[in-house]
Amino acid sequence: DVKVTQSSRYLVKRTGEKVFLECVQDMDHENMFWYRQDPGLGLRLIYFSYDVKMKEKGDIPEGYSVSREKKERFSLILESASTNQTSMYLCASSLATSEYNEQFFGPGTRLTVL
């Protein structure tokens, strides 16, 4: 079974703090994604990566950056957390070459910025 794990299920940070959310997958997937999930808005793509050190902006990249130094690990960074970044963050991964490129999701990190 594919496993996608995220470093924390719940996180509370203060405004202005630098926040790191980490995601690790164990199935040698090329693609990794960070989404933000908010009620009534569904899942919105923040960034994705299709290879080590490669990244592409999604629909809402402002205020976020990412890092992918190893194939299995994809980090989301909030350089200076703000209250409007309080949300559920989901990581996902997928193969680049499979027919459906089904995404496998982590359990999510619920981030609260005070």
Partner 1 sequence: AQTVTQSQPEMSVQEAETVTLSCTYDTSESDYYLFWYKQPPSRQMILVIRQEAYKQQNATENRFSVNFQKAAKSFSLKISDSQLGDAAMYFCAYRSKTGNQFYFGTGTSLTVIP
Residues at the interface with partner 1 (CB under 8 A): 31, 33, 35, 40-45, 48, 50, 58-59, 90, 94, 96, 99-103, 105-108
- Residue 85 phi/psi, 5-degree rounding, is -100, 5
**Is 1 or 69 the residue whose CB approaches partner 1 more closely?**
1
Minimum distance of partner 1 from residue 42's CB (angstroms): 4
**Is 75 or 103 the residue whose CB approaches partner 1 more closely?**
103
**Is 19 or 33 the residue whose CB approaches partner 1 more closely?**
33
Minimum distance of partner 1 from residue 35's CB (angstroms): 8
**Beta strands 31-38 and 54-57, pairing class:** unpaired
Calculate the alpha carbon distances from 41 to 47, 88, 111 in Å. Answer: 17, 12, 17
Would you say 62 and 55 are in contact if contact means Cβ atoms under 8 Å apart? no
- The DSSP letter of residue 83 is G
